[in-house]
Amino acid sequence: MRIRKDRLLAVVLISPSVLAIAIFVYAFIAWTMRASVSAWKGLLPDYTFVGLTNFVTLFRNPRFQIDMRNTGIFTVLFLATCLAIGLVLAVLLDQRPKGEAVFRNVYLFPMAISFIVTGVVWRWLLNPATSVERLSGLNLLFHQAGLDFLISQWYTHSRLGIAAIVIPATWQMSGFTMALYLAGLRSVPDELREAARVDGASEWQIYRYIVLPMLNAVTLSAIIMLGHTSLKIFDLVMAITQEGGKGFSADVPAMNMWYTAFRALRFGQGAAIAIIILVSVAVLIVPYLVYTFRTEVEQ
Amino acid sequence: MKQRIARVFLYVLLVGAAVFYLTPIYVLLVTGFKSFQEVNLATMWALPSGVYLDNFAAAFVKLAPNLSNSLSLTVAGTIISAFLGSLNGYVLSKWKFRGADALFTAMLFGMFIPYQSILIPLVRFMQTIGLYGRLWGLVLVHVIYGIPMTTLIFRNYYATVVPNEMVEAAHMDGADLLGIYRHVMLPLAIPGFVVVMIWQFTSIWNEFLFAVTLTSPRYWPVTVALQNLAGSQIVEWNVQMAGAFLAALPTLLVYIFMSRFFLRGLMAGALKG
């Protein structure tokens, strides 16, 4: 009797949260889907069904084509640099240098500040002016060091503008990748390395054949976390470029969605972009969640 | 000898990386401490001739109301979230009903969705219930979308730290669900609360998308106000830099003094458990 009362209370206690998630996540997604196939323009909702018109318009829209291309370039470069830098730094710290904790904290601190702050600072470091009398930021530093060939238009470059955004994004997130890898490295039992050493393996061979293969799960986690950050990136691009750079050189779908919906008030079109972002993230996340859930049940 | 060279090389790489991470902070600080007369894009990398607080004072005057908004928003959101998460985590780890695990996974999905996909309905909803534009509306939104993460951290924390036998024993002794929460779980949950509160404090303070979409200028938190400063042609870049430093300071301090707990929150989000 008492147990049954407590069981009931448990369900009652958790139901507000469950209800909130049901509405604010699942029902709202359904609502956005409905809006994405509607003619809604302007402040008042208009749910006239228009089929896939919004999506067709999008895929023909030059700005959205640039966005898709930019997201692709950004995601690949961002993942590659974060994983590489993160792994290298973790392996270096794994050698237990003096001041290890200081180095670790220096690499990780950008995670504690907002993309907006990062963006405001990097906006000036990546100042795109290239004429000698107006140089500033990194371009100025390169000029003063006699490395003029490195001077760049950064985020305003017509084809590679988006690649400039990878620098601050990596600055912010690579420390996190380092922390993930370092935790992974530290979980490799010392006996295993010791045994390999006794068998005459070099330090390089130990990493290559014993340690790195054990980090696959960490790499997967990192790809999931970084990948979903990159597919929906918004704040950073907003703070650096304000409106997507020169001719949308650094524009991304999330920026396009925000301006389309909340500035141009084309809500149907904005909802369609939102759904495309959601699908791209879901393709990455859902298999991961299902897999994690399954392994937990098995345990 | 060979080992010595390797060791030197190791430190060269470590210091080189540290320079990369600290460069923006260097620029932020040398710009912030310059006097108005000294500020010039052409001497951006030069050290200030002394310590002047002109820029910080100017930025503070502009951002003070927004810093205060951020503080109210963050404190309220953090406390409510932590409390809610601790209850949810307790139920989902110690009072598992049928389907509890599937329900939890369904909740977790809410942590990963791009918020663009719920933003348009959210604005309509907030307008309908009369919280659009207000600070309390934003608090509500952060509490709700914080549920998956706070529940995750507490659920895993309770599952590993509090043995089921302890809960069963308390139950045998006549404690009911809330009694066990109050007398067994809460006293053991302090580290869990620290992790969750640091996580929520940092996320809410740094958040931009909800804030820029849902609040009117009067209630703008500091991220939105800073972005607005950066976009204006009138405000000098040196004042923007000083403003960026002010906006970053609270979470930086939390990080410096509690990095261990900060890291645990980060890991909880990445490595389920």
Average pLDDT (B26-33) is 92
Residue in the structure block whose two tokens are 């008030």: A265
Nearest chain A Cα to B267, which residue? A180
The hierarchical CATH code for the domain B54-270 is: 1.10.3720.10
Nearest chain A Cα to B151, which residue? A17
For residue A226, the model assigns a pLDDT of 94
**Residue A289 sits at the chain B interface (C-beta within 8 Å):** yes
Range scoring the smallest mean pLDDT among A25-39, A269-283, B175-189, B208-222: B175-189
For residue B272, the model assigns a pLDDT of 46
Closest CA to A261 of A252, A270, A253: A270
Rounded distance between C-alpha atoms, residue A106 and residue B26, angstroms:
13
Tell me the residue length of chain B.
Answer: 273
3-state secondary structure of B183: helix
| pLDDT above 80 for A296 | no
| Min Cα separation B243/chain A (Å) | 9
**∠ CA A230-B238-B203, rounded to 5°:** 35
| CB of B44 closer than 8 Å to CB of A136 | yes
For B202-241, the DSSP string reads HHHHH--HHHHHHB-GGG--HHHHHHHHHH-SSS-HHHHH
Partner residue opposite A221 with nearest CB, options B17, B241, B270: B270
Interchain CB distance below 8 Å, A125 and B110: no
* A299 interaction partners in chain B (CB closer than 8 Å): none
Residue in the structure block whose two tokens are 């990878």: A166
Interchain CB distance below 8 Å, B41 and A103: no
Assess if residue A85 is contained within a domain: yes
CATH value at residue A122: 1.10.3720.10
Average pLDDT (B223-248) is 89
Q: How many CB atoms lie within 10 A of CB A44?
A: 8
Interchain CB distance below 8 Å, A274 and B120: yes
Q: Which domain holds residue A79?
A: 68-265
| CB of B82 closer than 8 Å to CB of B196 | yes
Q: Give ranges for CATH 1.10.3720.10 in chain B.
A: 54-270
Range scoring the smallest mean pLDDT among A49-53, B22-26, B94-98, B124-128: B94-98
Residues 6+ away with beta carbon under 8 Å from B12: none
Find residues 224-253 of chain A whose CB sits inside 8 Å of chain B: 224-225, 228, 231-232, 234-235, 238-239, 242
pTM of this prediction exceeds 0.90: yes
Interchain CB distance below 8 Å, A107 and B122: no
Average pLDDT (B77-95) is 95
Mean pLDDT, chain A, integer: 92
pLDDT band at A81 (very low <50, low <70, confident <90, very high): very high
pLDDT band at A149 (very low <50, low <70, confident <90, very high): confident
Alpha helices (H) in B232-271, listed in sequence order: 237-270
Nearest chain A Cα to B81, which residue? A17
- The structure tokens listed for A129 are 């002016």
For residue A297, the model assigns a pLDDT of 67
Q: What are phi and psi of A38, to 5 degrees?
A: -115, 170
Half-sphere exposure at residue A277, Cβ-oriented, CA atoms within 13 angstroms: 34
pLDDT band at A159 (very low <50, low <70, confident <90, very high): confident
Q: How many CB atoms lie within 10 A of CB B174?
A: 8
Residue in the structure block whose two tokens are 């979470």: B251
| CB of B104 closer than 8 Å to CB of B154 | no
Assess if residue A273 is contained within a domain: no
Rounded distance between C-alpha atoms, residue A41 and residue A60, angstroms:
19
The helix or strand, by DSSP H or E, that contains position B192, with its residue range, turns out to be helix B190-206
| Min Cα separation A44/chain B (Å) | 10
Burial letters for A66-86: b for 16+ Cβ neighbours within 10 Å, e otherwise?
A: bbbebbebbbebbbebbbebb
| pLDDT above 60 for A1 | no
Can you name the residues that pair with B133 across neighbouring β-strands? B215
- The structure tokens listed for A86 are 């993160």
Can you name the residues that pair with A38 across neighbouring β-strands? A49
Closest CA to B73 of B209, B196, B207, B199: B207
For residue B231, the model assigns a pLDDT of 79
Assess if residue A12 is contained within a domain: no
Q: Which residue has the higher pLDDT, A298 or B254?
A: B254
Nearest chain A Cα to B113, which residue? A278
Rounded distance between C-alpha atoms, residue A62 and residue A248, angstroms:
10
| Min Cα separation B136/chain A (Å) | 16
Alpha helices (H) in chain A, listed in sequence order: 2-21, 28-36, 53-60, 62-93, 100-108, 115-125, 137-144, 161-186, 190-198, 203-206, 216-231, 235-241, 253-258, 267-298
pLDDT digits (tens, 9 = 90+) for A196-211: 888 888 888 888 888 8
| Min Cα separation B229/chain A (Å) | 9
Residue in the structure block whose two tokens are 């100017």: B58
* B10 interaction partners in chain A (CB closer than 8 Å): 92, 95, 97
pLDDT band at B233 (very low <50, low <70, confident <90, very high): confident
| Min Cα separation B203/chain A (Å) | 8
Residue in the structure block whose two tokens are 């001041």: A99
| Min Cα separation B193/chain A (Å) | 18
* A93 interaction partners in chain B (CB closer than 8 Å): 14
Assess if residue A272 is contained within a domain: no
Closest CA to A111 of A191, A229, A270, A216: A229
Interchain CB distance below 8 Å, A270 and B226: no
- Domains identified in chain A, total number: 1
Assess if residue A87 is contained within a domain: yes
Which of B120, B126, B198, B200 is the best substitution to test chain A (most A C-beta atoms within 10 A)? Answer: B120
| CB of B140 closer than 8 Å to CB of B131 | yes
Residue in the structure block whose two tokens are 């730094």: A89
For residue A79, the model assigns a pLDDT of 97
pLDDT digits (tens, 9 = 90+) for A163-178: 999 999 999 999 999 9
Can you name the residues that pair with A49 across neighbouring β-strands? A38
* B171 interaction partners in chain A (CB closer than 8 Å): 3, 6
For residue A217, the model assigns a pLDDT of 86
3-state secondary structure of B108: helix
Assess if residue A93 is contained within a domain: yes
The fraction of chain A above a pLDDT of 70, given in percent, is 98
Assess if residue A281 is contained within a domain: no
Average pLDDT (B126-132) is 96
